[in-house]
Amino acid sequence: MALNGFLEFFQKGKVGPGLHLRSHNTFRPKKRFTQGTIRYSLHKQAQASLQSGINLRQVVKLPEGENLNDWIAVHVVDFFNRINLIYGTVSEYCNETTCPTMSGGPRYEYLWADGENFKKPTPLPAPKYIEYLMDWTESQINNECVFPVTTDVPFPKTFINLCRKILTRLFRVFVHVYIHHFDRIVSIGAEAHVNTCYKHFYYFVQEFDLVSAKELEPLSEMTTHVCKD
């Protein structure tokens, strides 16, 4: 199934025989691009490439003549949508009792800080961490000074670094889902789709050096297994 089909698969609640997505405060509507904009065109171009069956390593490459910031912005929004949907499928099993820390196994624990409500890195239960993460990411994406929607508004100089932070934090949701909730993903028949989404994410951040090797370490063994092509 192509990745746009993967999105429809989750959005329609088709997550296995007789199973449907349960509403959760972290699960939110898909963010969309405004029709007629460069960002919309790039989004459609990327989706067409995914549908064509081109190797994912090739799909993530910057199209000739296109602006790198636009290309990264499109993917940040798309990955936000996809990862939010993936977490929505396991959220009813992720609570303060089952997941009292935002962790990826015993070796990795993530602390939340946003410079406003949490000025210092703070330990949180996984669902609360992910709720703050999704709210924070959504606020960045919706800020037109940071993610401009027209070409007459320039990207800020801090744009790439902000995208690194967003993608690094979104990667931590992959870590938590794979290590603590993958049995749920398998039980609803979504393993192949989540793996494809992860491969797409991994190849993209590798192509543009957007997530450090240290941050990628918790899933290194799984990445070696899944990202073979």
Residues 29-41 have pLDDT tens digits of 455 545 545 444 5
pLDDT at 27 over 80: no
What pLDDT is recorded for position 150? 78
Mean pLDDT of 110-117: 93
Homologous superfamily of 3-226: MOB kinase activator (1.20.140.30)
Q: How far apart are the first and last CA of the chain?
A: 17
- Render pLDDT for 115-144 as a digit per residue (tens, 0 to 9): 988 999 999 999 999 999 999 999 999 898
Neighbouring C-beta atoms of residue 144, cutoff 10 Å:
10
Mean pLDDT of 96-110: 94
Separation in Å, CA 201 to CA 59, 92, 96, 112, 165? 11, 24, 28, 22, 14
- Render pLDDT for 170-206 as a digit per residue (tens, 0 to 9): 999 999 999 999 999 999 898 988 998 999 999 999 9
Q: What is the mean pLDDT of the chain?
A: 81
CA dist., res. 135 & res. 132, Å (int): 5
Find the range with the poorest average confidence among 18-27, 89-98, 202-211: 18-27
